[in-house]
Amino acid sequence: MTTTDLPQLPFERAGVLDVPPQLLELQAEVPIVRVRTPVGDEAWLVTRYDEVRELFADPRLGRSHPDPEKAAKVTNSALFGSAQADDNEDANHAMMRAMLMPAFSPRRMRAMRPHIEEIVDSLLDGMLADGGPLDLHERLSVPLPVLVICALLGVPYEDRDDFRSWSDGVGDTMDGARSAAAWEKLTSYMKGLIHGKRSEPGDDLISDLVAEYGDKIGDDELAALCGGLLFAGHETTMVRVDVGTVLFLSNPEQREAFLADDKLVAAAVEEVLRRSMTGGGGLLRYAREDMEIAGITVPAGDAVMLAVSAANFDERVFADAVRFDIARPSNQHLAFGHGARYCIGANLARLELQIVFDKLLRRIPGLRLAVPVEDLKLRVNQLGGGLVGVPVTW
């Protein structure tokens, strides 16, 4: 295969719930393959579960690059589009996790449960009062994680239209200028909040960070950290609420099993996480040195994409992987990563998803899609992927 006929990302999907056939074909052939990214650069795509899981914890891979101008890009997004030079990447990452761990601890999540339940009930009350058909994306999937992350961070919910618009811009994978402008607006907004919480702190994460680290870390760094949390904290959960709802409504036997056994809630959420296809081709890393992956030599500086969605469909690990099975006996998916890079917000995402699906499916037992699943549209050129809308009725 020459560099002119490399497989081109993103791969075409047959349906909104389907993994691209070309991705599964490549996975069946080899664990790692050379591809062309959506913006035209060359990279290595790792598709099998064992290799992806191992590489998550491999110290020879990192997010920084010694020569960012020459680094291959996967997207033009300001958030993950460009490599940075960082000789202290691992230490900086460890410090960031130490800063945030208290806010996402199991104890803090247990304390948040009643508030999240109130939010979900209130949103469902509004849906039931209005009746169907309506767009579940706009009425539930978007406002739920926005309300939760606002409460956690200390971001005024009344500003949601602004930062949602900025988040859409930041997540643009193709228009780099739009993404950079939106990131500038989002971080400037965060700097304003940080400045205000120095004099008027609240019971929230931004206030805690300012009090604990405000004299050690500059406002630019804090604003970037908080902006990233705001983006990731609502974008990823929004996508899983949409896709999970469509999975349940498209698999009535799984929905019936869920309603018949409340002990299946946690397992069902793990299956939603595994079975959800996300945007992009994979998580971007760079080889810090020449290294071998599945018998292939990857030169230092090359881009390596960890295809989590493909790994979660690997038949070597997940029998009948394309099937949505909420009672799957073993479900060690990689939706939240693995090792030192394991998603710090995993506990919060799980909590939100467990609450929302349990309440949604029980409170609206007649819920159904208002259009054929084939008519649903994918969000294209967005970091998180997901669906444009989820019309439902009952």
Neighbours of 77 (CB within 10 A): 27
pLDDT confidence of residue 3: 59
Strands 303-306 and 42-46: parallel
Q: Is the pLDDT of residue 267 over 80?
A: yes
pLDDT confidence of residue 82: 61
Taking only the tens place, the pLDDT of each residue in 8-56 is: 999 998 889 988 999 999 999 999 999 999 999 999 999 999 999 999 9
pLDDT confidence of residue 29: 96
Taking only the tens place, the pLDDT of each residue in 51-99 is: 999 999 999 999 999 898 999 999 999 987 567 778 788 888 899 999 9
Share of the chain above pLDDT 70, in %: 98
Q: Is the pLDDT of residue 2 over 70?
A: no
Rounded to the nearest 10°, the torsion over CA 73, 174, 177, 93 is: -40
d(CA 208, CA 102) in angstroms, rounded, equals 10
Q: What does residue 36 show for φ and ψ, rounded to 5 degrees?
A: -110, 130
Q: How confident is the model at residue 206 (pLDDT cuts 50, 70, 90)?
A: very high
Poorest-pLDDT segment among 66-70, 135-139, 387-391: 66-70
Taking only the tens place, the pLDDT of each residue in 154-179 is: 999 999 999 889 999 999 999 999 99
Query: What's the distance, CA 271 to chain centroid?
Result: 15
Average pLDDT for 222-244: 94
Taking only the tens place, the pLDDT of each residue in 271-311 is: 999 999 876 678 999 999 999 999 999 999 999 999 999 99
Taking only the tens place, the pLDDT of each residue in 323-376 is: 999 999 889 999 999 988 899 999 999 999 999 999 999 999 999 999 999 999
Mean pLDDT of the chain: 94
Q: Is the pLDDT of residue 1 over 60?
A: no
Question: Which strand ranges, in their side-by-side order, compose the sheet holding 391-393?
Answer: 134-135, 391-393, 368-369
d(CA 72, CA 8) in angstroms, rounded, equals 14
Record the pTM: 0.95
pLDDT confidence of residue 134: 98
Q: What does residue 142 show for φ and ψ, rounded to 5 degrees?
A: -80, -55
Q: Is the pLDDT of residue 150 over 70?
A: yes
State the alpha helices, DSSP H only, in the chain.
Answer: 21-29, 49-56, 89-100, 106-130, 136, 143-153, 160-170, 176-199, 205-213, 219-250, 252-260, 265-275, 308-311, 346-363
pLDDT confidence of residue 155: 95
Taking only the tens place, the pLDDT of each residue in 184-198 is: 999 999 999 999 999
Enclosing H/E stretch for 45 = strand 42-46
pLDDT confidence of residue 90: 87
Taking only the tens place, the pLDDT of each residue in 242-255 is: 999 999 999 999 99
Please give the domain boundaries of the chain with CATH numbers for all domains.
21-393 (1.10.630.10)
pLDDT confidence of residue 341: 83
**DSSP character for 140?**
I
Q: Are 32 and 47 in contact (CB under 8 A)?
A: yes
Q: Furthest-apart CA pair in the chain: how many Å?
A: 61
Tokens 């939106």 found at: 182
